[in-house]
Amino acid sequence: MNADKIPDIIIGRLPIYLRALQRMADSGLRTISSQELGEMVGVSAAQIRKDISQFGEFGKQGTGYSIAYLLEKLREILKVDRIWNVALVGAGDMGHALARYQGFVNRGFKVVMVFDNDQNKIGQHIGDFIIEDTANMIERIKSANIKIAMLTVPAPAAQHIADDLVEAGVKAILNYAPISLNVPKSVKVQYIDPSIHLQRMTFYV
């Protein structure tokens, strides 16, 4: 397997396959055809076979893929065969929702610390956490060797916090602030902005 050469667009589809396969496994299924998986995720069977073949020969003609084996391989490729500790910055409504979010369980992630700069919030509980002061953020993230952060601060604060996260050694940022971040090439950013997602659809309505 030469994962370095895999096009980013394929990498983008693998978590979708992983999620669907996990649901199949949870419901007790053991094998799945590319056709069935394709219907679940809205991708053609041919595309699925092509994507999966990038990583080796997983399926047998006629019997479909072993779900357990494919799950194991996808988790390994995406490096979620482990638990990544995640720092959450911003303890507003969205921060609260993410601190208590059940959708990280079994998917490779665990929020382990929450930061805010609001003196009224620092020391308060949020889910299982006590909100910490962003003033200590760089040191705390460094010493815990955390590589992933989620950002739910207001737009004007986001770039400054992102700079601090990069300094702390964070390599992947999930950004909920409605602003594009400038980070070094070695740091990945993904964006979640519901208005952007909605605007992407109104064009077609």
What is the contact surface with a copy of itself in residues (CB under 8 A)?
3, 11-12, 14-16, 18-20, 23, 39-42, 77-80, 84, 86, 93-94, 96-98, 100-101, 103-104, 107-109, 147-148, 150, 155, 171-172, 174, 178-180, 182, 188, 190, 192-205
Q: How big is the CA angle at 132 (ends 129 and 136), to the nearest 5 degrees?
A: 140
Q: Which is nearer to a copy of itself, 137 or 174 (CB)?
A: 174
For the chain, the first-to-last Cα distance in angstroms comes to: 42
Q: Which is nearer to a copy of itself, 2 or 63 (CB)?
A: 2
Q: What are the Cα distances from residue 169, in Å, to 61, 72, 91?
A: 45, 28, 21
Q: Residue 106's closest CA among 87, 128, 126, 82?
A: 82
| Cα dihedral across residues 107, 192, 145, 129: positive or negative | negative
Residues 95 and 116: beta-carbon distance below 8 Å:
yes
Phi, psi of 193, rounded to the nearest 5 degrees: -140, 105
Q: Which is nearer to a copy of itself, 135 or 155 (CB)?
A: 155
Q: Which is nearer to a copy of itself, 58 or 191 (CB)?
A: 191
Q: Which is nearer to a copy of itself, 28 or 62 (CB)?
A: 28
What is the smallest separation between the CB atom of 66 and a copy of itself, expressed in angstroms?
A: 21
What is the smallest separation between the CB atom of 92 and a copy of itself, expressed in angstroms?
A: 8
What is the smallest separation between the CB atom of 128 and a copy of itself, expressed in angstroms?
A: 14
What is the smallest separation between the CB atom of 144 and a copy of itself, expressed in angstroms?
A: 15
What is the smallest separation between the CB atom of 135 and a copy of itself, expressed in angstroms?
A: 25
Residue 197 three-state SS:
helix
| Cα dihedral across residues 199, 178, 95, 144: positive or negative | positive
Phi, psi of 111, rounded to the nearest 5 degrees: -70, 130
What is the smallest separation between the CB atom of 62 and a copy of itself, expressed in angstroms?
A: 25
Q: Which is nearer to a copy of itself, 20 or 168 (CB)?
A: 20
